[in-house]
């Protein structure tokens, strides 16, 4: 799926989520684009990489992903490999793993749950204070640990800027 097709197919879900949560739709779209490879990798309509913490109730799927950590002692359901890497001048360990992620019946259900995820998790309280500003929101969720990639915020902000240009150009 190319970026325009992805945006055309998901912008309404992101705007509906913004209407109910106040989280700027560009932040939501940027996360979905990044986490799903512009919709190419969204098994079970899972666009955001939200983990399923119990792995037992049937609404989860075991998928291969990667995580970054300063520790080489983390536990996951399945560890495929651990490799030391340097990111932004800092030593990290890159884990290739299998972990449980949520799955959904539709993209709309996934986008709705994504907004609820932020509202239900106190670790994002500071981010919710700036939810109407997608740049500040992205910085805040990265600081709160939404993803383990130390470049997560800069990647999302770049993607959000690209999405905004496409929306303006195509009048979506």
Q: What is the pLDDT of residues 107-147, one digit of tens each?
A: 999 999 999 999 999 999 999 999 999 999 999 999 999 99
pLDDT class of 59 with cuts at 50, 70, 90: confident
Instruction: Report the interhelical angle of 152-170 vs 134-143 (nearest 10°).
Output: 160
pTM greater than 0.85 = yes
| Interatomic CA distance for residues 170 and 9, integer angstroms | 13
pLDDT at 1 over 90: no
Percent of the chain's residues with pLDDT above 90: 90
| Interatomic CA distance for residues 118 and 142, integer angstroms | 12
Neighbours of 15 (CB within 10 A): 15
**CATH class label, 3-170:** mainly alpha
Tokens 């990290």, residue located? 92
Q: Are 144 and 127 in contact (CB under 8 A)?
A: yes
């Amino acid at each position: 799926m190319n970026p325009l097709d992805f945006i055309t197919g998901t912008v309404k879900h992101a705007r509906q989520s913004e209407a109910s949560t106040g989280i700027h739709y560009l932040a939501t779209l940027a996360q979905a684009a990044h986490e799903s490879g512009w919709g190419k990798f969204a098994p079970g309509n899972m666009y955001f990489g939200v983990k399923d913490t119990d792995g037992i109730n049937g609404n989860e799927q075991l998928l291969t992903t990667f995580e970054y950590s300063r520790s080489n002692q983390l536990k996951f359901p399945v560890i495929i490999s651990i490799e030391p890497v340097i990111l932004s001048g800092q030593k990290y360990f890159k884990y290739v793993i299998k972990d449980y992620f949520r799955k959904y019946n539709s993209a709309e259900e996934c986008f709705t749950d994504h907004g609820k995820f932020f509202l239900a998790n106190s670790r994002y309280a500071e981010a919710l204070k700036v939810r109407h500003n997608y740049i500040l929101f992205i910085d805040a969720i990265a600081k709160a640990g939404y993803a383990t990639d130390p470049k997560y915020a800069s990647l999302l902000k770049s993607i959000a800027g690209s999405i905004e240009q496409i929306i303006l150009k195509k009048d979506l």
